[in-house]
Amino acid sequence: MQPEPMQPQIDWSGRAASRYWLRIALPGLAPMNTAASRRHRMAQHRAAQDLQLLVRALVGRRKPWTTGPLRRAHLFVTRHSSVMADRGNLAIAAKPLVDGLVQARVLANDSPQELRTERYEWEPAPPRAGFTELLVVEASENARLLEVA
């Protein structure tokens, strides 16, 4: 008997928090859109649009309330899968998810000016149980790096 498939999960700081944060866990894995994947560019584009729409739908009204889109933030993306990928490919696979955060108006932009910290990590997971986790944390004006315990 196969386990129940994972459902998307979202958690956020809410209105009363002093610092905004958002955590999203997406079941399944974003495709690695590299030259080695040998997928047609239109198929890659459609998959990216689907991921962006999913992120926008999950964020919904959970965006920053008082400040508008975050102008300074820390972004952590963790891919949980049975096959290790290098950081470059992790960043390529996460790009549509980050674009979805920009379209949902959680982030003002995905440039280095706004994203003070960008980390793309890999964690082992059993086969066919992979998921991707996004964590966005509001940064202070002069923050350069957020230490996560």
Note the pLDDT tens digit of each residue in 59-68.
Answer: 987 877 667 8
Q: Which residues contact 128 (CB under 8 A, 6 or more apart)?
A: 82
Residue owning tokens 């993306």: 77
Its pTM stands at 0.82
Are 93 and 79 contacting, i.e. CB atoms less than 8 angstroms apart?
Answer: yes
For the cut 50, the answer to whether the pLDDT of residue 115 exceeds it is yes
Residue 65 CA to residue 76 CA, distance in Å, equals: 21
Q: What is the pLDDT of residue 146?
A: 45
What kind and span of H or E run contains 100? helix 87-103
